[in-house]
Structure 1
Amino acid sequence: MAENAALQQMISVAPKLAELSEQILFGDIWQRSPLSPRDRSLATLAALIALGRERQLAWHFRYGLANGLTRQELVEMITHLAFYAGWPAAATALACLPEEES
């Protein structure tokens, strides 16, 4: 699985970054209330799209779907961001969006 390969690469190259990601980012920050994981996925995806961090999008799209977002909601968020983050950012994000909900 690509996520596993990326994680293993991070562990082998930057073990401390992998540890911080697992323990602090996903073990603490993503678990805090009052935002749900679904809300955090939407906010994270909006930031990644606006900042042009396309290499992170595929994984976070799948994570967002697993956290309860629908493909239709993601398409609508991307359409909305076209006006705030720019057309190229929105078009790039659409190209990274999975074809179907998993």
Structure 2
Amino acid sequence: MTPPSDQGQRSVGDVAPTLAELTDRVLFDRIWQDPSLSPRDRSLATVSALIALGRTEQLPFHLQHAIDNGLSHDELATLITHLAFYAGWPAAASAVPRLRELARNAT
């Protein structure tokens, strides 16, 4: 069994405790742990949605989570390129600096 998440508490708990509780108990402990999709597939879907919606402030955490869930840097770069055609060039171009930051921090 995966230990309970405290990501929500750490990121927003001081300002929005109910959002933190929902993030930890529902999103990360229930949704992300549902075996119907693999963590890798969930990361692909999440990163794709964040890029398509222009939510780049959430990308650093989820790009790292995607790496932890088995995606490679090259696969994420390919995903960003693929999304340029479906989500728009600016959305993809805005994601590239976040992926670059991840690569720099890994070295």
TM over 0.5: yes
Aligned-residue offset at 1:33? 2.1
Identity %: 54
Q: How does 1:1-102 map to 2 (within 5 A)?
A: 7-97=9-99, 98-99=102-103, 102=106
Matched letter for residue 83 of structure 1: F
Stretches of structure 2 that go unaligned for 5 or more consecutive residues are 1-5
Matched letter for residue 57 of structure 1: L
Q: Residues 31, 72 of structure 1: CA spacing in aligned structure 2 closer, same or farther, 3 A cutoff?
A: same
Q: Across the two proteins, how many residue pairs are aligned to each other?
A: 99
Q: Deviations over 1:68-96 (max 9, x none)?
A: 11101100100000000111111111111
Matched letter for residue 22 of structure 1: D
Higher relative contact order (CA 8 A, sep 6+): 1
Runs of 4+ in structure 1 deviating by more than 4 angstroms, as ranges, are none
Q: Deviations over 1:31-81 (max 9, x none)?
A: 112210110001000000000001000110001101111101100100000
TM-score scaled by structure 2? 0.84
- After superposition, the CA RMSD in angstroms is 2.1
Stretches of structure 1 that go unaligned for 5 or more consecutive residues are none
